[in-house]
Amino acid sequence: MKPYRNGSPHGVLDSRPSWASLSAHDQEPRPTSILLTGTTGNLGSYILALLIADPKVARIYALNRSSARGPAVERIAAQFQKKGLDVTALRSDKVSFIEGDTTKSDLGIDACLYNEVEYLVVWVVGPRS
pLDDT, tens digit, 9 for 90 and up, residues 8-41: 444 443 444 444 444 445 555 566 899 999 898 8
Confidence of residue 86 (pLDDT cuts 50, 70, 90): very high
Q: What is the pLDDT of residue 8?
A: 41
Per the structure, the complete domain to which residue 55 belongs is given by 30-125
Q: Which residues pair with 123 in a beta bridge?
A: 34
27: left (phi over 0), alpha (psi -120 to 50) or beta: beta
Cα separation, 19 vs 56, in Å, equals: 13
The fraction of the chain above a pLDDT of 90, given in percent, is: 49
107: left (phi over 0), alpha (psi -120 to 50) or beta: left
The whole-model pTM stands at: 0.72
Q: Number of structural domains, the chain?
A: 1
Q: Is residue 83 part of a domain?
A: yes
Closest CA to 39 of 7, 66, 62, 15: 62
Q: Is residue 51 part of a domain?
A: yes
Q: What is the pLDDT of residue 6?
A: 45
The dihedral through the CA atoms of 67, 73, 74, 76 has a sign that is positive
Strands (DSSP E) along 2-125, which ranges?
A: 32-37, 57-64, 95-99, 123-125
pLDDT, tens digit, 9 for 90 and up, residues 37-53: 989 888 999 999 999 99
* CATH code for position 62: 3.40.50.720
Q: What is the mean pLDDT of residues 46-61?
A: 94
Q: Is residue 95 part of a domain?
A: yes
Q: Is residue 9 part of a domain?
A: no
Q: Is residue 118 part of a domain?
A: yes
Q: What is the mean pLDDT of residues 71-90?
A: 93
Alpha helices in the chain (DSSP H): 42-53, 72-83, 111-120
